[in-house]
Structure 1
Amino acid sequence: MKALLTVLALFCVTALGRAQETATPVISAAKHATDGHVWGALIFATNSVEQLTGAKEQAHLDLPNLTQRLGKVFPYKHFEILGQHRQDIFREYESWVVPSRDLFMKIDSKGPADKDGVNLHLQVWREHQVLVKSDAVLRKDSPLFIGGPPWKDGRLIFVLFLERK
């Protein structure tokens, strides 16, 4: 019995050593070159207070007057953040802003833009289907609003904001 335990112990140590040798190293996002850092949010817009979901997401602190800005673009009285996500925009790699599991955005950087902006290729996805493809320049203090599909008695809106370059 003692010999069997010794053989099992040696097997486990050998297998562990091989697994550590062949394991893929974890690469930190900090080592990748980035073109910026964005905040993305999925927002529900409606004119009916009864239709609000009761989501408790807090507005983005660096984006003042979000509700007023949205109200100038979309004809709704009430705006509710359903989900939000912060993400680095990687150079030469796709980035994903995922504020919900149903609606999310793929971002490909096309490099720097004038006035400290970033040239982007954007795709808004709903599950496995691309809803919108567009190129845009994102600049600090100038959020991008993308009108999404109708939902309940209102509309979903995707907001993308450049936090830092």
Structure 2
Amino acid sequence: MNRRDLISLFFLAGCGLSTAQTTTTDPGKDVIGMVTVTVYHATNGDAGAAGQRAKAASDEVVKRLTGEQKLKFAHYRELGKDTKPLFRSYENWAQPLPPSDEILLRFEAQSKLSKEKGRRLDIELWLSRKKILKTDAAMERGKPLFVLGPEWRGGRLIISAELGPIPATDP
């Protein structure tokens, strides 16, 4: 066999391998839910300090936050939101204030709580490229996890992570 035939044989074998690898599905990439990360600015001072792009937080969120003593402030503004899929076996990153990467949330599914109730997630909060919180949280759909963040512009940042529904699948 000459050199040209050998190179052609390796090329054809490589093409067959790449086709076989792309046709198999990775069960770890199955989407098992959605996670929404929202960043709020809470202050007892001037609500305008959050900036022009900030919008008022919903009444439901305000009611929930004022119910917690450490999260109780006079004004709440939503600064940003990001919704990402929750993969069965892969870590995910949410970036609620794009294009800034000053606030990032890493999350990964750990186990299922019950049939439709929720999931246990491994969650890490990163601020300014430093991991400041790592927790294993049992999360139920529709019940956000609130984390009191650092001081910012005369108030505090509050980061919310909420487990959303499993996306509809094609039959």
Where does residue 40 of structure 2 map in the other structure?
Answer: 43
Does 2:138 correspond to 1:143?
no
Given that residues 46 and 76 in structure 1 are in contact (C-alpha distance below 8 angstroms), is that contact kept between their aligned partners in structure 2?
A: yes
Would the aligned equivalents of 1:47 and 1:76 in 2 still touch at CA under 8 Å? yes
Q: In the alignment, what sits opposite 1:159? A: 160
1:152: how far off? 1.5
Instruction: Using structure 1 for the length normalisation, give the TM-score.
Output: 0.73
The code of the aligned residue for 2:107 comes to I
Aligned residue runs from structure 1 range 60-75, under 5 A: 65-73=60-68, 74-75=71-72
Tell me the alpha carbon deviations over residues 28-70 of structure 1, each in whole angstroms, 9 at most, x when there is no partner.
xxx921231111111111112342322245767xxx6012111
Kindly report structure 1 stretches of 4+ aligned residues shifted beyond 3 Å.
Answer: 56-60
SS in 2 for 1:122: strand
Distance 1:152 1:130, change over 3 A: same
Gaps of 5+ in 1: 1-20, 26-30
Distance across 2 between alignment mates of 1:138 and 1:58: 25
The Cα RMSD (Å) is: 2.9
**Alpha carbons of structure 1 residues 50 and 33: separation in structure 2 relative to 1, 3 Å:** closer
Partner of 2:93, secondary structure, is strand
Letter of the structure 1 residue corresponding to residue 60 of structure 2: N
Structure 2: stretches of 5+ with no match in the other structure: 1-14, 23-27, 167-171
Question: What is the SS of the residue equivalent to 2:104?
Answer: strand
Which residue of 80, 83, 86 corresponds with 1:83? 80
Q: Is the 8 A contact 2:119 2:140 kept in 1?
A: yes
- TM-score, normalised with respect to structure 2: 0.71
Among the aligned pairs, what percent are the same residue? 25
Q: Quote the residue 1:128 is aligned against.
A: 129
Secondary structure of 2:162's match? strand
Equivalent residue of 1:65, what SS? Answer: helix
Equivalent residue number for residue 13 of structure 1 = none
Number of residue equivalences: 140
